[in-house]
Amino acid sequence: MTHPLDTALHLQPAGDDRFDGATSAAYANMIGPFGGTTAAVALQAVLQHPARQGEPVALTVNYAAALADGPFTVQARPVRTNRSTQHWLVQIEQPGGVVLTATAVLAVRRATWSACDLQPPAGVPAADAIPPAPTAARMAWVQRYDMRFVEGGVPLALDGAEQPHARSRLWLRDEPPRPLDFPALTALCDAFFPRIYLRRRALVPIGTVSLTAYFHADAALLAQQGSGHVLADVRGLSYRNGYFDQSAELWSASGELLATTTQVVYYRE
Amino acid sequence: MTHPLDTALHLQPAGDDRFDGATSAAYANMIGPFGGTTAAVALQAVLQHPARQGEPVALTVNYAAALADGPFTVQARPVRTNRSTQHWLVQIEQPGGVVLTATAVLAVRRATWSACDLQPPAGVPAADAIPPAPTAARMAWVQRYDMRFVEGGVPLALDGAEQPHARSRLWLRDEPPRPLDFPALTALCDAFFPRIYLRRRALVPIGTVSLTAYFHADAALLAQQGSGHVLADVRGLSYRNGYFDQSAELWSASGELLATTTQVVYYRE
């Protein structure tokens, strides 16, 4: 049986630098599909392009318009290939125009001196020790994730009582479980509820406008994760006149940093 | 007298979506120009494009190849204009090919509920109370900045003795002073010494591959800064097999968050 994420990621080659895809009801959001899946599709086009060299190091996706449910075309073009790095431009188009722009940097990595200045979260209960957040009544895409909150779940009381911060720590993985790879990790980078929901305890209208992910894991490290949970820390930074940003880290269960990510989000009111 | 940054930012319209510019000796780096200036040039092309609508919210620049000293062409193309947001693709080209790709999101902001979860640095001596870091013997671009380190200056002893982190806090402004605007703020986002220099106390070969800036300030808030110093906090996150990332915040002297920024940097060895 095909995993729903693989269905959502399925792209059919459609000529030079072009691929045909379609949104997936399994990842439906309030309007159109979950943005994490769309970001993963942009990366997937690069990864399955015949000119691809290396593994993703950096990805930025800009959500130019709400995707309509249905088919889309991805254009993925290598604009510069160096000895060890490769730079890509990606666009997703629908009949109404460009709905997403993206840039990706791929690299052939070599073993070097390595270190991590960030401390992995300590004293965190194992994923198995925390019940998954109930998703039955939630949007389709939320049901595609197993989320286990150590702290900072979506507040049950959306009473508009502001909280002093918007931090969450959670275990998360695809549901059903699926081996982690770069597209799945990309989608996880967008699987945090918008920080303003927690900060204001209110569901104000929002939409991510730009998301950046830096991949610290290479394919070998990702393969070691299998289909287990990753541990994420996420926080809000600043909310000002219609736009806020949030940043997050995704860790392996054994304390290796897999990715860092930031995004800026439009909000109304 | 024209400020050297304005000389570096000078772009001559050269037909549809195209502008001619040239690198500036005043911002020379070890090889080619300072990347902060190049990022600022990418944004400048958007800002002076006749179709421009709104102010920058997000900018990502990818350094695809080292710029050669000399002329370049900037292509800046609005790929989607919505009611309140506008999405741009930018490329800088030289005879050898594409040297930079960028995406920018502009927005017409409205006054909304606003808040900042990050705490502005507290107990910091005023810029006037700290002597500027000596720059006379440094690369040209370093001489274009007045940097006053509260902590985390470049170590005087590059003895290879690893430090446990790579944090800096500093006041900085253009030198000579120049009123802050979006291109200048963009360049400031790249004006931090690569964290690996501090972390390893060694000058290993490096090159930024991707930089993202989120602008929290609008033009009115920037105008209030005049040509004073901004206060920056910057840190390294993770260094792994040839790539590390660093993140930073830039604050006004009165404690308003002007921008947040991240970048991923290639390093050798």
- Looking at chain B, the whole-number percentage of residues with pLDDT higher than 90 is 93
Distances (CA, A) of B172 to A112, B25, B253: 32, 21, 11
Asked if B110 reaches chain A (Cβ–Cβ under 8 Å), the answer is yes
In degrees rounded to 5, what are phi and psi of residue A224? -65, -20
- Sort strands A55-63 and A206-215 into parallel, antiparallel or unpaired: antiparallel
Residues of B in contact with A78 (CB under 8 A): none
Asked if A247 reaches chain B (Cβ–Cβ under 8 Å), the answer is yes
What does the DSSP assignment read for chain B? ---HHHHHH--EE-STTEEEEE--GGGB-SSSB-HHHHHHHHHHHHHTSTT--SEEEEEEEEE-SPPPSSEEEEEEEEEEE-SSEEEEEEEEEETTEEEEEEEEEEE-------EE-SPPP-SPPPGGGSPPPP-TTS-HHHHTEEEEEEE-PPPS-------S---EEEEEEESS-----HHHHHHHTT-SPPHHHHHHTS---EEEEEEEEEE---HHHHHHHTT--EEEEEEEEEEETTEEEEEEEEE-TTS-EEEEEEEEEEE--
Tens-digit pLDDT profile for residues B157-192:
888 999 999 999 999 999 999 999 999 999 999 999
Residues of B in contact with A94 (CB under 8 A): none
Does residue B258 have a pLDDT over 80?
yes
Q: In this predicted structure, what is the pLDDT of residue A269?
A: 85
Q: In this predicted structure, what is the pLDDT of residue A35?
A: 98
Measure the CA–CA gap between B65 and B97, rounded to whole angstroms: 9
Confirm if A24 and A33 have CB atoms less than 8 A apart: yes
Best A100, A237, A257 member to test B by mutation, with max B CBs in 10 Å, is: A237
Tens-digit pLDDT profile for residues B24-74:
999 999 889 999 999 999 999 999 999 999 999 999 999 999 999 999 999
Closest-approach residue (CA) in chain B for A108 = B242
Asked if A31 reaches chain B (Cβ–Cβ under 8 Å), the answer is no
Q: In this predicted structure, what is the pLDDT of residue B113?
A: 97
Closest C-alpha to A209, from A103, A62, A82 = A62
Q: How far is A143 from chain B (nearest CA, A)?
A: 29
Does residue B135 have a pLDDT over 90?
no
> Nearest Cβ partner of A117 from B58, B238, B241?
B238
Q: How far is B134 from chain A (nearest CA, A)?
A: 28
Best B112, B167, B265 member to test A by mutation, with max A CBs in 10 Å, is: B112
Residue range B110-129: mean pLDDT, rounded = 96
Q: In this predicted structure, what is the pLDDT of residue B62?
A: 98
- The two tokens of residue A79 are 């604009």
Best B82, B240, B258, B266 member to test A by mutation, with max A CBs in 10 Å, is: B240
Residues of B in contact with A200 (CB under 8 A): 113
Interface contact A101-B87, CB threshold 8 A:
yes
Does residue B4 have a pLDDT over 90?
yes
What are A55's strand-pairing partners? A107
Interface contact A199-B64, CB threshold 8 A:
no
Does residue B223 have a pLDDT over 80?
yes
Closest C-alpha to B187, from B218, B156, B208, B166 = B208
Closest-approach residue (CA) in chain A for B258 = A238
Q: How far is A163 from chain B (nearest CA, A)?
A: 10
Q: How far is B226 from chain A (nearest CA, A)?
A: 21
Q: How far is A202 from chain B (nearest CA, A)?
A: 12
Tens-digit pLDDT profile for residues A134-147:
988 789 999 999 99
Kindly indicate the confidence band of residue B145, based on its pLDDT and cuts at 50, 70 and 90. very high
Best B108, B233, B234, B241 member to test A by mutation, with max A CBs in 10 Å, is: B241
**Which residues, at least 6 apart from B252, have a Cβ–Cβ distance to it below 8 Å?**
B217, B221, B224, B225, B230, B231, B258
- Looking at chain B, the whole-number percentage of residues with pLDDT higher than 70 is 100
Confirm if B140 and B28 have CB atoms less than 8 A apart: yes
Residues of A in contact with B93 (CB under 8 A): none
Tens-digit pLDDT profile for residues A191-209:
999 999 999 999 999 999 9
Measure the CA–CA gap between A218 and A72, rounded to whole angstroms: 29
Interface contact B87-A98, CB threshold 8 A:
yes
**Which residues, at least 6 apart from A79, have a Cβ–Cβ distance to it below 8 Å?**
A87, A88, A89, B64, B91, B97, B98, B101
Kindly indicate the confidence band of residue B269, based on its pLDDT and cuts at 50, 70 and 90. confident
Tell the residue number behind the tokens 């020790």, with chain if given.
A129
Interface contact B98-A80, CB threshold 8 A:
yes
Q: Which stretches of chain A score pLDDT less than 50?
A: none
> Nearest Cβ partner of A107 from B102, B200, B242?
B242
Q: In this predicted structure, what is the pLDDT of residue B144?
A: 97
> Nearest Cβ partner of A241 from B114, B165, B195?
B114
Asked if A117 reaches chain B (Cβ–Cβ under 8 Å), the answer is yes
Residue range B198-207: mean pLDDT, rounded = 94
Tens-digit pLDDT profile for residues B236-254:
999 999 999 999 999 999 9
Q: In this predicted structure, what is the pLDDT of residue B41?
A: 98
Q: Which helix (DSSP H) or strand (DSSP E) does residue A70 occupy?
A: none
Residues of A in contact with B90 (CB under 8 A): none
